């Protein structure tokens, strides 16, 4: 196995294109090293992207933020601006693993790993974040929900990698929330999760809503009809219940060692409802 740590994104792309064997990007390594340990993958080349300056920064951009692909969870958690803009995304990232994992794990890694249970992916999709991709044919921008295509598979092409993630500015009275269900309080993988991003009018009427579920389908699930149900409401119990039922109806879950179809389906609605209430309260408090 070879290890390289280039200092520019273009160099990374060049190296990736030139490698015939299995190459892997190393940012936080919290998934990669686990997969290597278990023998699941045996890379021929590891490309460490942490020497590239832009992967290490959080930059303000038109009210939103650009988060480098090697920025760790704990750096995001400590960032005041992100906490104010997208508390749901921050809490999603904060739920990954443990304090130790937080010190290393990254949003981009969580995204590229393409697990349907990845915590920050539903949260990022809910706030309409996008990924900046560098590749041999130049740079491109891609919606978050278009990156994972099936469990363990992403849409990046040969030589491409994510260099940063953009979170756009949010209108006034907007906020988000993320909840997941795990048997333990920490150190666990989401059995089911829900991210809700809301924008309200001054009077607290929902103007825009995006509800995204995790771990209930092969990829994250943006539930359009459930989102629309909340628009024009103040999240009264009837609307919430309808939204929750629509979430359950949208689920295409599996039974595995972590949960059953019925559990995932039933709890997705519960979490969506609870997350919506939190997001609503936060949005109301944010000017």
* 40 near other proteins (CB under 8 A): no
Residues 6+ apart with CB under 8 A from 280: 198, 200, 204, 206, 235
Least CB distance from residue 104 to other proteins, whole Å? Answer: 5
Are residues 65 and 59 in contact, defined by beta-carbon separation less than 8 angstroms? yes
Least CB distance from residue 88 to other proteins, whole Å? Answer: 19
Are residues 84 and 44 in contact, defined by beta-carbon separation less than 8 angstroms? no
Closer to other proteins by Cβ: residue 90 or 129 = 90
* 34 near other proteins (CB under 8 A): yes
* 254 near other proteins (CB under 8 A): no
Give the neighbor-by-neighbor strand order of the sheet with 58-61.
58-61, 64-68, 161-167, 130-135, 138-143
Least CB distance from residue 133 to other proteins, whole Å? Answer: 24
* 257 near other proteins (CB under 8 A): yes
Element (H, E) at 245: helix 237-250
* 104 near other proteins (CB under 8 A): yes
Q: Is 38 helix (H, G, I), strand (E, B) or coil?
A: coil
* 8 near other proteins (CB under 8 A): no
* 210 near other proteins (CB under 8 A): no
Burial (CB count within 10 angstroms: exposed 0-12, middle 13-18, buried 19+), residue 60: exposed
The C-alpha atoms of residue 5 and residue 43 are separated, in whole angstroms, by 15
Count of residues that interact with other proteins, criterion CB under 8 A: 44
Least CB distance from residue 45 to other proteins, whole Å? Answer: 9
**By the criterion CB under 8 A, which residues form the site for other proteins?**
1-3, 5, 26, 28-30, 33-34, 36-38, 46, 48, 50, 72, 74, 97-101, 103-104, 181, 183-189, 191, 256-260, 262-263, 266-267, 270
């Amino acid at each position: 196995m070879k290890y390289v740590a280039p200092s520019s994104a273009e160099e990374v792309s060049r190296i990736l294109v030139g490698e015939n064997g299995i190459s892997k990007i190393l940012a936080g390594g919290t998934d990669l090293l686990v997969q290597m340990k278990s023998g699941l993958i045996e890379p021929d080349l590891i490309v460490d992207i942490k020497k590239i300056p832009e992967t290490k920064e959080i930059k303000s951009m038109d009210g939103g933020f650009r988060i480098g692909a090697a920025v760790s969870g704990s750096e995001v958690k400590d960032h005041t601006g992100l906490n104010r803009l997208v508390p749901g995304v921050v809490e999603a990232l904060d739920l990954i693993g443990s304090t130790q994992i937080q010190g290393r794990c990254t949003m981009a890694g969580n995204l590229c790993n393409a697990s349907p249970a990845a915590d920050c992916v539903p949260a990022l999709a809910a706030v309409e974040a996008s990924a900046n991709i560098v590749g041999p044919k130049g740079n491109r921008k891609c919606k978050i929900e278009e990156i994972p295509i099936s469990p363990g598979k992403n849409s990046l092409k040969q030589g491409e990698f994510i260099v940063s993630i953009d979170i756009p500015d949010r209108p006034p009275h907007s906020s988000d929330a993320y909840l997941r269900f795990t048997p333990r309080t920490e150190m666990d993988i989401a059995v089911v999760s829900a991210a809700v991003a809301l924008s309200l009018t001054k009077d607290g009427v929902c103007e825009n809503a995006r509800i995204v579920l995790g771990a209930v389908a092969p990829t994250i699930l943006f539930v359009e009809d459930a989102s629309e149900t909340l628009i024009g409401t103040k999240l009264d119990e009837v609307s919430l219940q309808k939204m929750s039922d629509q979430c359950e109806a949208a689920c295409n879950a599996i039974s595995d060692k972590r949960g059953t179809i019925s559990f995932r389906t039933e709890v997705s609605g519960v979490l969506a409802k609870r997350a919506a209430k939190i997001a609503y309260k936060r949005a109301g408090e944010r000017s």
